[in-house]
Amino acid sequence: MLRRDLLVVLFVLMMVSNVAVGQESEAKKFIATCSTTQVADFTREIVGDRWEVRCILVPGQDPHTYETKPGDTKMVAEADLIVRNGWHLEGHEWMMNLAKDANKPVVTCVDGVKSLILEEGGVEVQDPHAWLSPINAAIYVRNIVKGVSQIDPKHRIEYEARGELYVAQLRTLHLWVQRELNKIPRSQRVLISHHDAFSYFCTLYGFAAASPGGWSTGDEIGAGITAERRQKVVDSIRSYNVKAIFVETTVNPKLVRQIAADAGVKVAGSLYADSMGGPGTAAESYLGMMRENVILIVNGLK
């Protein structure tokens, strides 16, 4: 064979093998299907472009009251890994049930978090809103790193590196939150919103919390609005001389507005609790939603 012909053959072989490698990596992209916008954001930060990250809830949807659709079953069936919050945030365990039906491995992000227990009429419930503390968010991140590394051990070092960089950002966020919230006098550190989403946040940053809605917006035990809770909130606003209360982006603001009118305080805005903001908003990431919340809280209460 002539030298020139040999070079042509080699070139063609290289092209073919490149195409094959390209197709292989394209075909082998792992899929993570997540329940909430926050755990999807953490997962994206960890896997970069190696995985396709899908999220069942869209921004603004309530995980407590969500009802699954046929499309969700498909999203779970196609996934290599399921990422959920846990502790009944996904009302009546809808994400776990979908994962079990499809026999998929699951990362439960709250694993290893020290839970706050809510007691309601003799029933104890683990408060699921742990991600609203950046310290707990770091535990979520490490659980996801472990989960994706088990499915794709070849890139474990990469996932750990992205995870640790993100944890460093969470630490910076935590220090910034502390500094900002210090602008609010101690006597004014009372956070009142629709439901008990902010207990971890309040415990970490020295706030008292109150809500008319209980631990969930759904119909689980110990959840929901009662006349007694509503009255307690109005009393708290008056006795602490609270300047402002907050609505939440995933729930109807009507009740909080009524309470504000009854108690004679203003509504300072809408907090991101169970969902991040939509694409293109300042709260479209976890870091962004925490920043927007803190700015709103400081402006409302200082």
* Count of residues interacting with Zn ion (CB under 5 A): 2
Compare residues 127 and 163 and give the one whose CB is closer to Zn ion: 127
- Answer yes or no whether residue 202 interacts with Zn ion by CB under 5 A: no
Least Å from the CB of residue 214 to Zn ion: 10
Residue 166: CB atoms within 10 A of its CB come to 22
Window contacting Zn ion (CB under 5 A); options: 66-74, 107-115, 116-124, 193-201? 193-201
Among 202, 274, 287, 293, interactor with Zn ion by CB under 5 A: 274
- Answer yes or no whether residue 39 interacts with Zn ion by CB under 5 A: no
Q: Which residue is nearest to Zn ion (CB)?
A: 274
Give, for 298, the enclosing helix (H) or strand (E). Answer: helix 286-301
- Answer yes or no whether residue 248 interacts with Zn ion by CB under 5 A: no
- DSSP per residue over 76-102, as a string? HHT-SEEEE--TT-SGGGHHHHHHHHH
Least Å from the CB of residue 40 to Zn ion: 16
Least Å from the CB of residue 216 to Zn ion: 6
Window contacting Zn ion (CB under 5 A); options: 7-15, 116-124, 229-237, 269-277? 269-277
Window contacting Zn ion (CB under 5 A); options: 35-43, 92-100, 196-204, 292-300? 196-204
Compare residues 274 and 292 and give the one whose CB is closer to Zn ion: 274
Among 132, 137, 141, 197, interactor with Zn ion by CB under 5 A: 197
Least Å from the CB of residue 297 to Zn ion: 17
- Residues of the shown chain interacting with Zn ion in the complex, contacts defined by CB under 5 A: 197, 274
